[in-house]
Structure 1
Amino acid sequence: MPRTLPWMAAALTLIGVPAGLALTGGNVQGVMTATLAFWLAMLMLLVGRWPLSVLIVSVLTVIAWRTSGLIGSGWAWPATAAFAALALAGRLRTAVVAGALTLTYGLVWDGVVEQKSSDWVLGHIGGEALWLAAVLAATVAYRNTRRWQEEVAARLQQSLHEQELDALRRRAEERVGIARDLHDVVSHTLAVVGVHLNVALDSFDDEPEEARGALRLAQDVRGRAMTDLKSLVDVLREGNRIEPPAAGLEGLTGLAEQVRAAGVEVAVTELGERSEVPAPVATAVYRVVQESLTNTVRHAGATRVTVALRYTAANVVVEIADNGGGDGAGAPGHGIMGMRERVAALGGELATGPDPRGGFTVRAMIPIAA
């Protein structure tokens, strides 16, 4: 119940009781009328805490005043505010029962004890019954309206909260995606460029032509990486998240050539029809192969790596296996995590670990339906 409601009820009672008794001819003694109005108004200040108790005390007070002849009319209506407060508190049935008992008592008192005419009794008691019914109906309508408004406000607040949570989730996903893309581009580029620079450094004096070739390859790789990074930065500046350029399945040949140029033998085999693979799955496969080859160059110390892809109607399976020291993942980092996130986002599975026969193996299965 709003805090201002008891004060409003008290003010209306303080004014309404004397006015109602004057209009109905029940103002027998002015001092008693004012005293009754003041007492009922003071009770209204407690209605927010004890609505039923306030109603009982108010009704008993009115009955006592009336049967004592201190007022000449009214059984239930002087306690109108108390009835309305009880209904507003959600106890409509109790208010109706209390009103019915009060009016029944008044009917018996006026008809039997006072022996007033039936027309007078029915007119006054019927009028009070209609008044009380109208007040309770209006109170229930007000209460239902307030509850509906509160429910609408709560749903709106919940919707806004869910939107905020969704925005936070999206921002978190964006940050993870950006970190993953930066890692894919930068890590692969640095690994390949580092190998070419080592080759150039080792052959600079004895084989200058080989050193110049290695430097040219390093420059080409660096140029492609700069293009990818520029695209990613442009996307961030525009505020629209797009997957940075990845060559997809067509780019696997280029990846293999880069790794071959770094001195590692690469064999790529494909089984099935790659044209049926959707773009998101193709991009994920490309990134898995890219990260795996990067780890092979940087950490495995391998001389040979195989990339096997199998396309079926249900999924794509890619397996990258090297003959290195069995630690193709290198030190714990973001590479394996990024691959796992990409594959999981498409409903797939990723398995990594040393091969019992030697080397390190990465195997991913991505459903095409996803």
Structure 2
Amino acid sequence: MNRLLAPAVTLAGVPAGLAVTGGNVDTVLTVVLAFWLAVLAFFAQAWSRTVLVLSLLIIAALRGGFFVGSGWVWPAGAAFVAVVLAGHLRFAAVAGGMALLYGVAWDGYIDHTHGGEWTLAHVGGEALLLAAVLAASAAFVSTRRWQHEMALRLEQDQHERELDARRRRAEERVGIARDLHDVVSHTLAVVGVHLNVALDSFDDDPDEARSSLRLAQDVRGKAMTDLKSLVDVLRDGGAPALAEPSEGLDGLERLAEQVRGAGLTVSLNEFGERAHVPAPVATAIYRVVQEALTNTVRHAGATRVAVTLRYAPASVVVDVQDDGHAPAQVVDGNGIAGMRERVAALGGALTAGAGRGGGFAVRATIPVERG
């Protein structure tokens, strides 16, 4: 509550209320009551319960001295609101109830100016007004508390998402480290075997030695391409890497079989030569196909899905098309966003949306760098 709002409302509302209810016995005393209640309301935020008790005592004193003719609790409305906002709803209800009981006793048994019907009407009206004020104030407190809790939850969720993103990036770099180890160790082992063969046959069979050296050179060239791709991804601190080891292109048929087991008809078509595809690109292809098929099984309501891979010297095109239901507007959830980021990390692009013949289509173009 604004610190000046409560005094201002009290200073203006008390004389107006007494005038409307016929309680303005003496204008000077009415102004005095409004003034002191406004002064107390100024301190209501700091000492809400004390202010409420003092306000009710002042009102009872002026009513008992017949200086004002109406009102037992409503002139202290600002104090009641302050008590509820401070978290003391029960105290406000008890204090208001006691003040109203005292008002019934005074008007009904001590002050015989008015009859019983007048007493019940005025005190009952004040009781309803007090209940409305307390209920509105409690609702406001509950709303503010709910908003605060929601803000804390959103902040906590954001913090957890940031921690999860950091964890994923750390896991991605561990995956790259594994890939680097596998590429280097495999390359050294294969090249070592071919060099030994070339060395042993150098004098007796020069042709075999040259063939072994060519194979070693080919393996070295592919390994350099794989290493360059991995290092490029690792160098980009914000780009997603290969989050976990993948089966690569050799696992596509097994992946298709798994989806067929879910009741879908899956066709896997490959055009071109896959041998020149580097390991990071092969991993990305596998993950794109895996996520696209997973989306088809979960969301599309499809019966058929076609996976088409086109290998070219400069790029690989991945096309996954089903006959299900494409959403009117595609939202980048975790799956599609993950595919898009994985492909973008390798310099490619991915689109997802309605297919040419209906259904949902995922299409990725990933460049292949030749070393």
TM-score under structure 2 normalisation?
0.57
Return the letter of the residue paired with 2:20. Answer: L
Cα shift at 1:56: 0.8
Instruction: Report Cα offsets for 1:80-100 as digits up to 9, x if no partner.
Output: 111122223332222111111
Instruction: Report Cα offsets for 1:51-82 as digits up to 9, x if no partner.
Output: 21111111111112222233221111101111
| Separation of aligned partners in 1, 2:172 and 2:61 | 74
Contact 1:228 1:244 in 2 (8 A): no
Cα shift at 1:211: 7.0
Return the letter of the residue paired with 1:66. Answer: R
Secondary structure class of the residue paired with 2:136: helix
Cα shift at 1:208: 10
Aligned to 1:146: 144
Check 1:244–1:159 CA distance in 2 against 1; reply closer, same or farther (3 A cut): closer
Contact 2:169 2:240 in 1 (8 A): no
Contact 1:66 1:72 in 2 (8 A): yes
1:108 aligns with one of 97, 105, 113 = 105
Mapping of 1:10-21 within 5 angstroms? 10-21=7-18
| Separation of aligned partners in 2, 1:98 and 1:135 | 14
My pick for the range that moved more, 163-172 or 210-219, is: 210-219
Mapping of 1:233-248 within 5 angstroms? 239=240, 241=242
Return the letter of the residue paired with 1:79. Answer: A
Q: Would you say 1:55 and 2:56 are equivalent positions?
A: no
Contact 2:81 2:137 in 1 (8 A): yes
Aligned to 1:80: 77
Aligned to 1:64: 61
Instruction: Report Cα offsets for 1:222-273 as digits up to 9, x if no partner.
Output: 12313433554687788564667767999xxxxxxxxxxxxxxxxxxxxxxx
Check 1:207–1:34 CA distance in 2 against 1; reply closer, same or farther (3 A cut): farther
Contact 1:231 1:244 in 2 (8 A): no
Return the letter of the residue paired with 2:116. Answer: S
Q: Would you say 1:31 and 2:28 are equivalent positions?
A: yes
Aligned to 2:89: 92
| Separation of aligned partners in 2, 1:122 and 1:70 | 21
Contact 1:231 1:245 in 2 (8 A): no
Contact 1:75 1:102 in 2 (8 A): yes
Q: Would you say 1:175 and 2:173 are equivalent positions?
A: yes
Contact 1:193 1:218 in 2 (8 A): yes
Mapping of 1:153-192 within 5 angstroms? 153-190=151-188
Contact 2:11 2:35 in 1 (8 A): yes
In structure 1, the gaps of 5 or more residues are 251-274, 280-370
CA RMSD of aligned residues (A): 3.6
Aligned to 1:7: 4
Instruction: Report Cα offsets for 1:9-66 as digits up to 9, x if no partner.
Output: 2222122112111211222333332232222222223222322111111111111222
Check 1:228–1:108 CA distance in 2 against 1; reply closer, same or farther (3 A cut): same
Cα shift at 1:126: 1.4
Return the letter of the residue paired with 1:37. Answer: A
Instruction: Report Cα offsets for 1:131-155 as digits up to 9, x if no partner.
Output: 1111112222222222233333333
Contact 1:44 1:54 in 2 (8 A): yes
| Separation of aligned partners in 2, 1:30 and 1:247 | 92
Identity percentage of aligned residues: 60
| Separation of aligned partners in 2, 1:215 and 1:171 | 39
Computing the radius of gyration over CA atoms, which structure comes out larger, 1 or 2?
A: 1
Aligned to 1:22: 19
TM-score under structure 1 normalisation?
0.57
Check 1:235–1:58 CA distance in 2 against 1; reply closer, same or farther (3 A cut): same
Return the letter of the residue paired with 2:145. Answer: R
Check 1:207–1:38 CA distance in 2 against 1; reply closer, same or farther (3 A cut): farther
Mapping of 1:1-370 within 5 angstroms? 4-116=1-113, 117-190=115-188, 193=191, 209=206, 212=210, 215-229=213-227, 232=230, 239=240, 241=242
Check 1:24–1:204 CA distance in 2 against 1; reply closer, same or farther (3 A cut): same
Check 1:193–1:38 CA distance in 2 against 1; reply closer, same or farther (3 A cut): farther
| Separation of aligned partners in 1, 2:40 and 2:192 | 88
Contact 2:169 2:241 in 1 (8 A): no
Return the letter of the residue paired with 1:174. Answer: E
Return the letter of the residue paired with 2:122. Answer: H
Check 1:34–1:233 CA distance in 2 against 1; reply closer, same or farther (3 A cut): same
Cα shift at 1:105: 1.1
